[in-house]
Amino acid sequence: MKKKQGGGFRTTIGGQALIEGILMRGPEKQAIVVRLADGTLQEKTEELKLIKDRYPILGWPLIRGVVIFFSSLINGVKALMYSADCLPEEEQAAQEDKLDKWINAHFEGEKAKKMIIGVSVALGLILAVAIFMVLPYLVTGVFTKSIGSSFLKNVIDGVLRILIFLVYIRLVTMSKDIHRVFEYHGAEHKSIHCYEKGLPLTVENIRPQPREHPRCGTSFLFVVMIVSFLVFSVVSWKNRIVAFFLRLALLPVVVAFSYEINRWAGRHDNLLSRILSAPGRALQKLTVFEPDESMMECAARALTLVIPEREGADRW
């Protein structure tokens, strides 16, 4: 660890669990640390080039949320691909789907990687919209034909959306590989808590830290669910087809407000912030598991690599 900070601060550093690894993103650079099959750690560190530095308006409140959301999706897919490339060749072959094989067969090098990233992000967004918007909206339409209240329909739609989300999370955690990724998720959170308390980043200090963190992506998704319910309840349309496309158009607004709420709750520690973050923290019990020692070592190393030289540069 480069330096020791005083305890009781909130850092802007955040991370993402990968396949046998961790991505950590600081104010100046990001690092990926992956545990190889032989037990050693492979590291990749790069300086950050933020789009808001070129276009400051993209860093303004209610604009930055959408920009950061898409940036995180793209960077997350890139990091996942990097961690997958660190797997043994036989495991890489097993994880490569037909579409990836087709792209790699018809395109070369960097062009193939960019296409795979673009397709992955697009398919991820389409799948999310289909599962968490189209499906509950269609089901609600079928079973609420006799209900005249638009508000009540939105309540049913919102509750159904949350239930589908919870079931989806529970099903994916049944996969052994996903469960292991969520253990790395726990290592990421624990290491950040350890750092925020000003403790040296050792396994002994990381182990007792809580698994839940207010700035977790899981909490953000839950806030999106709640904010979408509020926004869709206020802005509605009698024609269901028009109403659905209106909801799609309002998604950037939902993401923007959700990001600001999650950001505020992550920066503060008071009664209101604890109330706002409580549902997300509870939901993290489904997506954040207890890591083993090797995972904590991996998270500690990734975090150490992105701590800025200038003390306090990563404080909220």
pLDDT number for residue 115? 85
Residue 179: pLDDT band by 50, 70, 90 thresholds?
A: very high
CA-to-CA separations, 299 to 18, 210, 251, in angstroms, rounded: 11, 14, 33
Instruction: Return the closest-CA partner of residue 182 out of 78, 263, 292.
Output: 292
pLDDT digits (tens, 9 = 90+) for 18-41: 999 999 999 999 999 999 999 999
- Alpha-carbon torsion (291, 171, 255, 83), positive or negative: positive
Task: Report the alpha-carbon distance of residue 139 to residue 137 in Å, rounded.
Answer: 6
Strands of 19-118, DSSP E: 21-25, 29-35, 41-47
Residue 277 lies in a domain: yes
Does residue 80 sit within a domain? yes
**Residue 118: what pLDDT?**
85
Separation of CA 42 from chain center: 23
Q: How far is it, in rounded angstroms, from Cα 259 to Cα 205?
A: 30
Q: How far, in Å, CA of 180 to CA of 195, rounded?
A: 23
Residue carrying the six token digits 């404080």: 315
Identify whether 146 is part of a domain: yes
- Which residue's entry shows tokens 């990749």? 44
Spatial distance between the Cα atoms of 275 and 308, rounded to a whole number of angstroms: 31
Residue 298: burial class (beta carbons within 10 Å; 0-12, 13-18, 19+): buried
Task: Indicate the length of the chain as a whole number.
Answer: 316
Note the pLDDT tens digit of each residue in 235-258: 777 777 888 899 899 999 999 999
Residue 1's pLDDT is 46
For 270, the token pair is 């008071």
Taking every pair of Cα atoms in the chain, the longest distance, rounded to a whole number of angstroms, is 64
Residue 194's domain comprises: 14-306
> Is there a domain that residue 70 lies in?
yes
For the chain, give the mean pLDDT: 88
Is residue 277 a contact partner of residue 265, using CB atoms and an 8 Å limit? yes
Give the pLDDT of residue 258: 94
Neighbours of 152 (CB within 10 A): 12
Q: Helices H, strands E: what count in the chain?
A: 13, 4
Indicate the pTM of the whole model.
0.89
Does pLDDT of 5 surpass 50?
A: no
Q: 289 to each of 12, 179, 184, 284, how far by Cα in Å?
A: 22, 8, 8, 9
The reply to whether 95 falls in a domain is: yes
More confident residue, 297 or 311: 297
Residue 66 lies in a domain: yes
Distance, CA of 215 to CA of 55 (rounded, Å): 25
Domain-located, residue 2: no
Whether residue 5 is contained in a domain is answered as no
In the chain, how many domains are there? 1
Going by pLDDT thresholds of 50, 70 and 90, the confidence category of residue 150 is confident
Position 312, amino acid: G
CA distance 181 to 173: 9
